[in-house]
């Protein structure tokens, strides 16, 4: 198997937090900073996007007019708390957005004004002109040396350099970017620390990676997800139902007064029926204002939690889809295994010496810059005393690069090259099936011993690379890999969540099965080509399942685009990042598991607070109505279990509670409900017990406590 496929992803360093985004639940200073933004959101042009809170704002305006016409202490108290309800709802969203603006500020600092040395010709590195970075066009070539800022997004087409990406990822350790392979992408605003690279610009003006990140983390491009839209429709329907129900209070009050003329007038029940201020108060208390106020903040906070983990979601839909994922496609190397396969043994076939095999293996790996290729060269030098040669020493050598179709690489050496032991040779190394087919096509006859050697190494969990010279097989290279600690436990956890895990690898089926059994994944796809990955994703989706996968190479782009949640590595190619709907700035393939957990937490939080809000409204209905009408209909007094002081205090207590509960729940909306891997039925039961029952009990306690505090105020009797 070629080492290029096997290194489709690599182990990334543990992400470090750099303080760019606050991790606290609810910083009072942050609330104060967000208050001006909350006030700006009172603009009706903004509020109408949230139908529930738009109704509350209309009610606040209406009661303000009524209070001006017929002022009273009670009327103005209601007005103040209705406006506070609207402001608190806007504050929830403003605080959630403010947490992302801290990230945006740092990104803007990285996107400083800079110049670029644009090459006049790709091949002539001596001819260049200096222009502003903003003037770069897609397809331009720029030269960047140590100490310079990379002026735009692109791919390294020549050279290798150490790059400081801390302004983007927050990781202080420099990374290597080089031409070819899957670590060629560079981001504008990062700094070259050593050497020199030639970069081909892939961005369009104003559409750089940093530009998109700033827009996303600030919420400028945030669109409602399908689930949010569906929930908004439900909330709007409930609002209409409660509007109709509340409208019946007016004729009911008039009728009640007529049949019970001895009942004394009150602010709640007058000779003309229920006052407009009380009607508005009832509407605001009974419609689902709690979830209406927090819904947007929940979605923004979900994306913010990803940002805190250095994952950029290109849309809220992607975060939401992560919560519904039922199939995870994971690369073996760097995700399930450590990814640092090293050559550990050269196993020759009968009739071939170990020294001859070592020489051929080293020769075929001289131009292989992957860790595995380098390890073969080093192992041949250390174990067999072969000097470490450079590709440039073979002047007439034709290096055969790896491709996903051939699944092998090597070298063709002309007879007059002067290479020791290599005159006129054609050497290949790679997947067993591909190399043996190459041998047969050249007229050779691979022996059965090759198959036994390959099967033995594969069965042990190792990776066999067959080495052959034109017409004959020389032997097998044994590469070893190690499953990461704790992976079996993580996959058991995924299983409890109802998620099926599939390992994707370029290894042969025996090797894949050995690693899959050790890691504990549910299934595996061996000898995977880009077409195989795409076919597997489509097959899963046809069964009604949502699929998530990671990738970093250009050959991963089709699968990333097809998957419901495609996580591209920041170190990957521009094509991969364009195809995915998330980008992992730490380039840690195991982050996919965390992304799924965050998505599920988002859905659970939304469901929990919706349950609480609806239960809350039902409880407020039974708390307020009996207190208001018990004097007219004595039978309702049995339902007035809280014994509120008066209809006026009951109304004002409910309005105050309705506003304060929004503030009380903002930390939960931002942090998210704690997620524990469990089945859907258990999660539903927990939500109903904790948030359904809590939504019924809390209003009774809260309204009664407020009633005790305000019952002696003017106008409450």
pLDDT at residue 264, rounded to an integer: 54
More confident residue, 658 or 404: 658
| Residue 552 is labelled as binding a ligand | yes
- How far, in Å, CA of 502 to CA of 490, rounded? 13
* Confidence bin at 21 (pLDDT 50/70/90): very low
* CATH 3.40.50.1000 domain span(s) along the chain: 327-336+484-585
- How far, in Å, CA of 432 to CA of 243, rounded? 72
For 95-104, 421-430, 482-491, 660-669, which range has the lowest pLDDT when averaged over its residues? Answer: 95-104
Q: For this structure, is 584 an active site residue?
A: no
Taking a C-beta distance cutoff of 8 angstroms, is the pair 550, 332 a contact? Answer: no
Nearest Cα neighbor of 597 from 282, 324, 349, 214 is 324
CA angle, corner 227, sides to 315 and 286, nearest 5?
125
Segment 442-497, tens digit of pLDDT: 888 777 788 888 888 877 767 789 999 888 899 999 987 777 777 888 888 888 87
| Residue 368 is labelled as binding a ligand | yes
By DSSP bridging, strand 565-569 and strand 547-551 are parallel
More confident residue, 131 or 371: 131
Segment 240-254, tens digit of pLDDT: 888 887 777 777 766
pLDDT at residue 308, rounded to an integer: 76
- Superfamily the domain 327-336+484-585 falls into: HAD superfamily/HAD-like (3.40.50.1000)
For 51-55, 218-222, 224-228, which range has the lowest pLDDT when averaged over its residues? Answer: 218-222
Please state, in angstroms and as integers, the Cα–Cα distance from residue 558 to each residue in 4, 146, 579, following that order. 18, 35, 7
The answer for residues whose C-beta is within 8 angstroms of residue 554's C-beta and 6 or more apart is 182, 573, 575, 576
End-to-end CA distance of the chain: give it in Å, rounded: 85
- Indicate the Cα dihedral angle 381, 382, 385, 390, nearest 10°: 20
More confident residue, 428 or 183: 428
More confident residue, 251 or 182: 251
Question: Helix 73-110 and helix 289-308: axis angle, to 10°?
Answer: 20
| Residue 49 is labelled as binding a ligand | no
% of the chain exceeding 90 in pLDDT: 7
For 20-34, 268-282, 564-578, 597-611, which range has the lowest pLDDT when averaged over its residues? Answer: 20-34
Q: Is the pLDDT score of 391 beyond 70?
A: no
pLDDT at residue 79, rounded to an integer: 93
Nearest Cα neighbor of 111 from 262, 212, 4, 12 is 212
CA angle, corner 297, sides to 294 and 302, nearest 5?
125
CA angle, corner 83, sides to 78 and 89, nearest 5?
125
Written out in words, the top-level CATH class of the domain with range 115-151+153-202 is: mainly beta
Nearest Cα neighbor of 293 from 99, 103, 45, 95 is 95
pLDDT at residue 620, rounded to an integer: 82
- Superfamily the domain 342-412+424-481 falls into: Calcium-transporting ATPase, cytoplasmic domain N (3.40.1110.10)
pLDDT at residue 62, rounded to an integer: 92
pLDDT at residue 268, rounded to an integer: 45
Question: Helix 680-687 and helix 591-629: axis angle, to 10°?
Answer: 30
For 137-146, 366-375, 432-441, which range has the lowest pLDDT when averaged over its residues? Answer: 366-375
pLDDT at residue 392, rounded to an integer: 58
The answer for residues whose C-beta is within 8 angstroms of residue 56's C-beta and 6 or more apart is 82, 85, 86, 89, 284, 287, 289
Q: Is the pLDDT score of 112 beyond 50?
A: yes
Taking a C-beta distance cutoff of 8 angstroms, is the pair 89, 53 a contact? Answer: yes
User: What is the SS3 string spanning 490-543?
Assistant: HHHHHHHCCCEEEEECCCCHHHHHHHHHHHCCCEEECCCCHHHHHHHHHHHHHC
The pTM (predicted TM-score) of the whole model is 0.64
How many CA atoms within 13 Å lie on the side-chain side of 209? 35
* Confidence bin at 265 (pLDDT 50/70/90): low
More confident residue, 376 or 340: 376
| Residue 654 is labelled as binding a ligand | no
Question: Helix 591-629 and helix 289-308: axis angle, to 10°?
Answer: 160
Please state, in angstroms and as integers, the Cα–Cα distance from residue 399 to each residue in 362, 408, 433, 690, following that order. 13, 12, 21, 65
The answer for residues whose C-beta is within 8 angstroms of residue 75's C-beta and 6 or more apart is 63, 66, 67, 277
More confident residue, 502 or 214: 502
Catalytic residue among 140, 155, 182, 331: 331
* CATH 2.70.150.10 domain span(s) along the chain: 115-151+153-202
Q: Is the pLDDT score of 421 beyond 50?
A: no
User: What is the SS3 string spanning 341-403?
Assistant: CEEEEEEECCCCCHHHHHHHHHHHHCCCCCHHHHHHHHHHHHHHCCCCCCHHHCCCEEEECCC
Nearest Cα neighbor of 4 from 464, 521, 403 is 403
| Residue 463 is labelled as binding a ligand | no
| Residue 404 is labelled as binding a ligand | yes
% of the chain exceeding 70 in pLDDT: 79
Average pLDDT value for the chain:
78
Please state, in angstroms and as integers, the Cα–Cα distance from residue 475 to each residue in 179, 348, 379, following that order. 31, 4, 15
* Confidence bin at 342 (pLDDT 50/70/90): confident
pLDDT at residue 7, rounded to an integer: 30
**SS3 label, residue 578:** helix
The strands making up 327-331's β-sheet, listed across from edge to edge, are: 311-313, 582-584, 565-569, 547-551, 327-331, 500-504, 523-525
pLDDT at residue 467, rounded to an integer: 93
pLDDT at residue 10, rounded to an integer: 32
Handedness of CA 203, 110, 316, 681 (dihedral sign): positive
Taking a C-beta distance cutoff of 8 angstroms, is the pair 663, 88 a contact? Answer: yes
CB neighbour class for 575 (10 Å; exposed up to 12, middle 13-18, buried from 19): buried
Segment 595-615, tens digit of pLDDT: 888 888 888 888 899 899 888
* CATH 3.40.1110.10 domain span(s) along the chain: 342-412+424-481
Q: Locate all alpha helices (DSSP H) within 111-202, ordered by sequence.
A: 166-169
pLDDT at residue 13, rounded to an integer: 33
* Confidence bin at 2 (pLDDT 50/70/90): very low
Q: What is the mean pLDDT of residues 250-273?
A: 58
Nearest Cα neighbor of 633 from 249, 102, 121 is 249
Nearest Cα neighbor of 491 from 526, 455, 449, 520 is 520
Q: Is the pLDDT score of 123 beyond 90?
A: no
Tally DSSP H helices, then E strands, for the chain. 25, 21
Q: Is the pLDDT score of 669 beyond 70?
A: yes
Q: Is the pLDDT score of 114 beyond 80?
A: no
Segment 62-92, tens digit of pLDDT: 999 988 988 888 889 999 999 999 999 888 8
* Confidence bin at 4 (pLDDT 50/70/90): very low
* Confidence bin at 222 (pLDDT 50/70/90): low
| Residue 408 is labelled as binding a ligand | yes
User: What is the SS3 string spanning 448-505?
Assistant: HHHHHHHHHHHHCCCEEEEEEECCEEEEEEEEECCECCCHHHHHHHHHHCCCEEEEEC
Specify the DSSP class assigned to residue 134: G
CB neighbour class for 43 (10 Å; exposed up to 12, middle 13-18, buried from 19): exposed
Nearest Cα neighbor of 322 from 314, 334, 310 is 314
Question: Helix 487-496 and helix 509-519: axis angle, to 10°?
Answer: 80
- How far, in Å, CA of 321 to CA of 303, rounded? 12
Q: Is the pLDDT score of 184 beyond 80?
A: no
* Confidence bin at 51 (pLDDT 50/70/90): confident
For 358-367, 374-383, 516-525, 633-642, which range has the lowest pLDDT when averaged over its residues? Answer: 633-642
The answer for residues whose C-beta is within 8 angstroms of residue 52's C-beta and 6 or more apart is 235, 236, 239, 287, 288, 289, 292, 293
- How far, in Å, CA of 410 to CA of 579, rounded? 31
Taking a C-beta distance cutoff of 8 angstroms, is the pair 105, 676 a contact? Answer: no
Q: Is the pLDDT score of 57 beyond 90?
A: yes
CA-only gyration radius of the chain, Å: 33
């Amino acid at each position: 198997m070629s080492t290029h496929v096997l290194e489709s992803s690599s182990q990334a360093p543990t992400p470090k937090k750099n303080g760019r985004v606050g991790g606290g639940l609810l910083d009072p200073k942050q609330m104060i900073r967000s208050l001006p933004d909350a006030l700006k959101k009172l603009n009706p042009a903004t509020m109408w996007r949230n139908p529930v809170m738009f109704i509350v704002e209309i009610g606040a305006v209406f009661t303000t007019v009524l209070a001006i016409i017929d002022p009273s202490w009670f009327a103005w108290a209601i007005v103040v708390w209705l406006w506070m309800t609207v402001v608190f709802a806007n504050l929830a969203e403003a605080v959630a957005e403010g947490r992302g603006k801290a990230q945006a500020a740092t990104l803007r600092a990285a996107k400083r004004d800079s110049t670029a040395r644009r090459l006049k010709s790709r091949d002539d590195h001596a001819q260049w002109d200096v222009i502003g970075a903003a003037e770069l066009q897609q397809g331009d070539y720029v030269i960047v040396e140590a100490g310079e800022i990379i002026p735009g997004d692109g791919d390294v087409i020549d050279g290798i350099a150490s790059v400081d990406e801390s302004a983007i990822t927050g990781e202080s350790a420099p990374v290597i970017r080089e031409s070819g392979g899957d670590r060629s992408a560079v981001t504008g605003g990062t700094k070259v620390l050593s050497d020199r690279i030639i970069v081909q610009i892939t961005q369009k003006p104003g559409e750089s990676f940093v530009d998109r990140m700033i827009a996303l983390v600030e919420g400028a491009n945030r669109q409602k997800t399908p689930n949010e839209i569906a929930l908004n429709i439900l909330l709007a329907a409930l609002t209409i139902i409660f509007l109709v129900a509340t409208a019946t209070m007016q004729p009911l009050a008039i009728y009640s007064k007529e049949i019970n003329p001895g009942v004394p007038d009150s602010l709640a029940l007058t000779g003309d029926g229920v006052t407009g201020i009380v009607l508005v108060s009832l509407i605001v208390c009974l419609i689902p204002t709690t979830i209406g106020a927090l819904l947007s903040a929940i979605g923004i906070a979900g994306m913010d939690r990803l940002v805190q983990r250095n994952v950029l979601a290109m849309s809220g839909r992607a975060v939401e889809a992560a919560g519904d994922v039922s199939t995870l496609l994971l690369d073996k190397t760097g995700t399930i295994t450590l990814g640092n396969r090293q050559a550990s043994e050269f196993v020759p076939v009968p009739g071939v010496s170990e020294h001859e095999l070592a020489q051929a293996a080293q020769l075929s790996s001289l131009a292989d810059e992957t860790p595995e290729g380098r390890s073969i060269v080093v192992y041949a030098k250390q174990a067999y005393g072969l000097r470490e040669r450079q590709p440039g020493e073979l002047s007439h050598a034709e290096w055969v690069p790896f491709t996903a179709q051939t699944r092998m690489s090597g070298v063709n050496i002309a007879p007059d090259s002067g290479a020791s032991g290599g005159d006129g040779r054609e050497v290949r190394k790679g997947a067993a099936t591909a190399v043996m087919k190459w041998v047969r096509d050249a007229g050779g006859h691979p022996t059965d011993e090759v198959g036994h050697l390959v099967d033995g190494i594969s069965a042990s969990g190792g990776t066999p690379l067959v080495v052959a010279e034109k017409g004959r097989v020389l032997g097998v290279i044994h590469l070893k890999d190690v499953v990461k600690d704790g992976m079996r436990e993580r996959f058991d956890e995924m299983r409890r969540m109802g998620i099926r895990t599939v390992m994707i690898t370029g290894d042969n089926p025996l090797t894949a099965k050995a690693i899959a059994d050790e890691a504990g994944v549910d299934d595996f796809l061996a000898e995977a080509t880009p077409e195989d990955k795409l076919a597997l994703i489509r097959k899963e989706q046809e069964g009604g399942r949502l699929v998530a996968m990671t990738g970093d190479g250009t050959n991963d782009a089709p699968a990333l685009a097809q998957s419901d949640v495609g996580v591209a590595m920041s170190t990957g190619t521009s094509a991969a990042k364009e195809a995915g709907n998330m980008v992992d700035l730490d380039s840690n393939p195991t982050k996919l598991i965390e992304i799924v957990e965050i998505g599920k937490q988002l859905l659970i939080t939304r469901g929990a607070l919706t349950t609480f809000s609806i239960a809350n409204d039902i409880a407020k209905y039974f708390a307020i109505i009996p207190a208001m009408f018990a004097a007219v209909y004595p039978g309702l007094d049995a339902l007035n279990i809280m014994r509120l002081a008066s209809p006026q205090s009951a109304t004002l207590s409910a309005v105050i509670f309705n506003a304060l509960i929004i503030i009380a729940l903002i930390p939960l909306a931002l942090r998210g409900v704690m997620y524990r891997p469990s089945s859907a039925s258990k999660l539903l039961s927990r939500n109903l017990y904790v948030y359904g029952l809590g939504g019924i009990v809390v209003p009774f306690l809260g309204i009664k406590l407020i009633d005790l505090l305000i019952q002696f105020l003017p106008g409450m009797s």
